Structure 1
Amino acid sequence: MHHSQHVRVRQLLDEVALGGLPSFHASFTAPRLPAGDIRYQASQGGGALYDTGLYPVRAALHLLRPRLSVDGAVLTAGPGHGVDTSGVALLSTPEGVTAHLSFGLDHANRSRYALQGSTGRVTLDRAFSPSADHPPVLALERNGTVEEIRLDPEDQAARAVGSFARAVRRGDDVPHGPAIVRQPRLLEEIRVRAGDLRKAVR
């Protein structure tokens, strides 16, 4: 959330550039890894939800605010794995704005989200794992035309660490505090709603 691409999308929402009641669609998936990879170890907190699913959940919290609740979820375990290797979740706000999230560890690479409102749509590729030299491009569709909003490259990892360090030095509240608290609870709600492949962490 420290990358300017997400800040710019949030600005478009605040400006009502997409119209009312947008829906959010996000997907973050990665190819299959070697069987012994830590991501497949339940005792180490492995699984698609905690590895790739938390990114779409965090983006939904940033863009739609913390009052999200889980309406439905499915987690699937791949053959030979004791953890979830793919999943989908449907979240919503009290106003009826929905977030459709998909994630996985057994798929082609995909890192994308889109917001669609009553009058426009914005799409962002390489949303969750942009390299430090990647120049983001937001595709804003309105009135039958597509506008490309080009941004400068940024190192989101360095910006996140810098933001945390500044908050510690100044004694400030951690940035995005409400969303940070809400995120693990939403992840647990997704796991419980999906019927859980293992006991939910409390």
Structure 2
Amino acid sequence: MSVIDVPVVLATHNAHKVDELRRILGPHLDGLELRAYDGPEPIEDGDTFAANALIKARAAAAHTGLASIADDSGISVEALDGAPGIFSARYAGTRDSADNVALVLEKLSGIPEGQRAAEFTCAAAAVLPDGREHVVTAVWPGSVLEAPTGGGGFGYDPIFRPEGLDVSAAQLTAVEKDAISHRTQAFTALIPWLRATLLQD
């Protein structure tokens, strides 16, 4: 293992996501130094979560010359034919989480509890300056509540009830959420590849 930690850029300007990923990845980063990204944001015009994650990671790697990681994530609702999906962050056209949540609830108005299945998806991508790439996709199943509940989390967390639980994701503590979330699953599966690839040199 290198005496000096190998820098890895986290390709996001989302402060909530930065905080969450630092919590999630902290125990797994031995030998790596996670750095914030302040470069330009690329156009996310991919048609899958994995494609958009790679677009962001490639842009950060190209801008910094360093290994970069990124993710693309969102919620897909069965009764809405998989929407918002990759458009989760801008579903209502405002990039405001409250507006996005309100629109999902409006579209699900009248849909009974048993037909409100949904899942969070996270695609985590790593891109190295030499062109090597790796992507891991994870899913967190659950359902959509009829109204926002809880003050924690962010995004769609207040209306997402994880499978097997009777509370929303926004009612979980950070530790509880980090133990089971889609983002945790994806990044904890990605980091071993990144560490093995970067630290073998």
Higher relative contact order (CA 8 A, sep 6+): 1
Structure 1 length-normalised TM:
0.25
TM-score normalised by the chain length of structure 2:
0.26
Normalized per residue, the structure richer in helix is 2
